[in-house]
Amino acid sequence: MTKMPDVRLEQRLPQVEIRVRVEDATEPVPPPTPDCDHIRRNSKWWIASGIFLVVLVCYVLTSPGRIDIIDGQARFDVTYNWLVTGRPSVRDMWITQYMGVPGPDGLHYSYYGAPGSVFAMPLVWVGLATSSPDIRPSQFLFSLTSSIFGAGLAPILFLFYRELGIPARRAFAWTLVNSLATLVWPASTSTFDNAQHAFFTLAAVYFGFLSARRKSLAWAALGGLMAGVLFLYQEYFLLIIPALALSTLQWKVAGDSEAPGPAAYQKQLIARVVLAAKGAARKVMELIREAWRTPGEARSSCLRYAAFLVAAGIGVALSLAYNDWRFGSWFENGKVRSITAHAYPLFGNPLAGLLTLLVSPGKSIFLYSPPLLLCLIGMRSFRQQQPAIALAVKLSSALLVLFLACICFVGGDWCWGPRYLTPLLPLWALAFPFVKLDRIRRQCAVALIGAGLLIQLMALTVENQRFFLENGFKDYFWAEDPWIYFKHSALFRRFGEVASLRNGVPPTARFFNSIPVTEWCTYTILGPPPGFDRSKSPIWIRNFKIYYLPRPWPLWMSYLPPANRPIPMGPWLWSLFTLMALGGGLSYFGLRGRGCYE
């Protein structure tokens, strides 16, 4: 009885020694499970492709399927004439009086940049090749241009999140928040080109970030090319291109220690801003001096920054050449002549403009995109981890907002929300994953995202111009009263407009559209004729069905006889739902990672 414990002890001792030797061994032990890093790296491309298809189908299905604003009609006419005659002219007699500027060759030209028409050329060409001389399919396809670019934002933002180290599932979720709960969604369903601006803005910062991470001048130049396209759209984007180029740098911005303490912050906010600006300027000078003295990261950053700006200069050169082609002068783009001809001022009240964009009931970016409040919360943590990108976002935002606050047409009407701020939304969305969500913040985040989703769905339901006509506004009402958006709100009126859809089309609505050819369904809306008493506009619009039918094309098009529809609805809907299923499958496949979990 006394020997049995000894035997068991002797049998256990070698096992203990073996475990010690294994734990102390320096030889690497092969992992018991397969390495999934390679699969995870590839899965991000599956997810990005799936997100693009899902978001694209959402945007296409909720788009109006027609040219919803006269600006888009002018761009379409340029595209059409460019393809047919080889000149980017405006020949539509109904819009030439509003959007055409005479050139030295006797033709009329639009004062808009070339990209809004050039990027739509493949779509218009397909419509002409398959349906000519019927122009309606070309107009329908043209109206989807911004949907494609808006959907293109989603995969870039997702890949940006992954480069920032955000797990795939969180990156996927926040990408959908930006795509479906902010102003990006309605902007992507319009023939306004602001969603296209947002695409190139985010692409410029993304490629600039890749250039800093990979120490690559080629990536910096690619980012600069994206920024140069912005100048081709609108010249005022030159203000923010140097700020976007900060994404190519890797250096530390002046810290909070250089700013006043909490008490001074409360009493001297302006002094804090001034000191922070001085600190940032000092850091820039230190970076330049260090780059001049010796090779290293400082010199590499400066070279990437320069490569970004040089590449952006290509867009500037092309824009000047386009001006010369149309108007015989590099610096003549037709905008000033158009403003002068229509007798409204270029600049307005800066205070009214700034408050309009930030806090007004009619155009506040926070009302039209509630999740943006989460970005403000997450920006501090984002700045601590990515100071160069955060500085690029904040500086470009400040420059653009201050510029827009000074112009008279700050709201960009007639439109839904502050559309000129759309390019900033995907930049601020980079801060989404850096919000530290405790229980209370999580509930607030869910509420803000839900409110944002509801607001975007309301934006897509009713024709936007109905609000302006029911209020009897003149074409340039914003020039007459800079505080107009504190007195009227399209957002607050939208609840009643959506509810009125259940009443159907009024019995007085005999025509589909308010243009001379009243049964055209893909041509833009034109307002009352010149000299019409705008106080009677609420009665005038009741003659036209388009203001009382749901805005998405699958809904209003179903009211038309099949022969009057610009496209065959059945094949289009089946194709779109198939693409959505494919996109959902690709996203699911990528998130599953073939059995690899994060």
Could you read off the pLDDT of 249-304 as tens digits, one per residue? 986 544 444 444 454 444 455 566 566 666 556 666 666 665 556 676 777 888 99
Can you tell me the distance from the alpha carbon of 68 to that of 363, in angstroms, rounded to the nearest whole number?
20
- pLDDT bin (cut points 50, 70, 90) of residue 530 is confident
Q: Are residues 308 and 363 in the same domain?
A: yes
Note whether residue 256 is domain-resident: yes
Q: Are residues 300 and 400 in the same domain?
A: yes
- Residue 211's H or E segment, with its range, is helix 194-214
Note whether residue 111 is domain-resident: yes
Q: Are residues 234 and 113 in the same domain?
A: no
294 versus 193: which is more confidently predicted? Answer: 193
Query: Which range has the worst mean pLDDT, 355-359, 389-393, 509-513?
Result: 509-513
Note whether residue 554 is domain-resident: no
Q: Are residues 135 and 154 in the same domain?
A: no
pLDDT of residue 1: 42
Average pLDDT over residues 466-476: 92
Percent of the chain at pLDDT exceeding 90: 69
Question: How many other C-beta atoms can be found within 10 angstroms of the C-beta atom of residue 148?
Answer: 20
pLDDT single digits (tens) 303-329: 999 999 999 999 999 999 999 999 999
Can you tell me the distance from the alpha carbon of 68 to that of 56, in angstroms, rounded to the nearest whole number?
19
Q: Give the mean pLDDT of the chain.
A: 87
Q: Does 35 score more than 70 pLDDT?
A: no
Average pLDDT over residues 371-378: 94
pTM of the predicted protein model: 0.89
Average pLDDT over residues 506-522: 88
pLDDT single digits (tens) 92-144: 988 888 888 999 999 999 999 999 999 999 999 999 999 888 899 999 999 99
Q: Does 38 score more than 70 pLDDT?
A: no
Q: Does 528 score more than 60 pLDDT?
A: yes
Average pLDDT over residues 334-358: 87
Note whether residue 290 is domain-resident: yes
Q: Are residues 443 and 348 in the same domain?
A: yes
Q: Does 14 score more than 70 pLDDT?
A: no
Instruction: Give me the DSSP letters along 374-421.
Output: HHHHHHHHHHHH-HHHHHHHHHHHHHHHHHHHHBTTTT-SSSSS-GGG
On the question of a cis peptide bond just before residue 414, with omega within 30 degrees of 0, the verdict is yes
- pLDDT bin (cut points 50, 70, 90) of residue 40 is low
Q: Do residues 115 and 233 make contact, with C-beta atoms less than 8 angstroms apart?
A: yes
Q: Are residues 209 and 223 in the same domain?
A: yes
Q: Does 245 score more than 70 pLDDT?
A: yes
Can you tell me the distance from the alpha carbon of 418 to that of 362, in angstroms, rounded to the nearest whole number?
9
Can you tell me the distance from the alpha carbon of 329 to that of 321, in angstroms, rounded to the nearest whole number?
8
Note whether residue 229 is domain-resident: yes
Looking at 452, 476, 502, the residue that finishes a domain is 452
Can you tell me the distance from the alpha carbon of 533 to that of 407, in angstroms, rounded to the nearest whole number?
27
Note whether residue 83 is domain-resident: yes
Note whether residue 1 is domain-resident: no
Q: Are residues 247 and 301 in the same domain?
A: yes
Q: Are residues 54 and 168 in the same domain?
A: no
Q: Do residues 249 and 305 make contact, with C-beta atoms less than 8 angstroms apart?
A: yes
- Residue 369, C-beta contacts closer than 8 angstroms, at least 6 positions apart: 181, 182, 183, 417, 425, 452, 455
Q: Are residues 293 and 397 in the same domain?
A: yes
Looking at 452, 468, 501, the residue that finishes a domain is 452
Distance of CA 258 to the CA centre of its chain: 34
Can you tell me the distance from the alpha carbon of 538 to that of 506, in angstroms, rounded to the nearest whole number?
13
pLDDT of residue 25: 38
pLDDT of residue 323: 94
Q: Are residues 193 and 139 in the same domain?
A: no
Q: Do residues 153 and 202 make contact, with C-beta atoms less than 8 angstroms apart?
A: yes
Q: Are residues 116 and 155 in the same domain?
A: no
- pLDDT bin (cut points 50, 70, 90) of residue 87 is very high
Task: Count up the domains in the chain and report the number.
Answer: 2
Domain of residue 203 covers: 150-452
pLDDT single digits (tens) 447-467: 999 999 999 999 999 999 999
Q: Does 593 score more than 70 pLDDT?
A: no
Looking at 422, 452, 482, the residue that finishes a domain is 452
Can you tell me the distance from the alpha carbon of 25 to that of 29, in angstroms, rounded to the nearest whole number?
9
pLDDT single digits (tens) 538-571: 999 999 999 999 999 999 999 999 988 999 999 9
Instruction: Give me the DSSP letters along 436-470.
Output: ---HHHHHHHHHHHHHHHHHHHHHTTS-THHHHHH
Q: Residue 101: phi, psi to the nearest 5? A: -125, 125
Note whether residue 262 is domain-resident: yes
Average pLDDT over residues 357-361: 96
Average pLDDT over residues 464-479: 92
pLDDT of residue 269: 53
- Residue 296, C-beta contacts closer than 8 angstroms, at least 6 positions apart: 290
Q: Are residues 113 and 202 in the same domain?
A: no
- pLDDT bin (cut points 50, 70, 90) of residue 37 is low
pLDDT of residue 502: 92
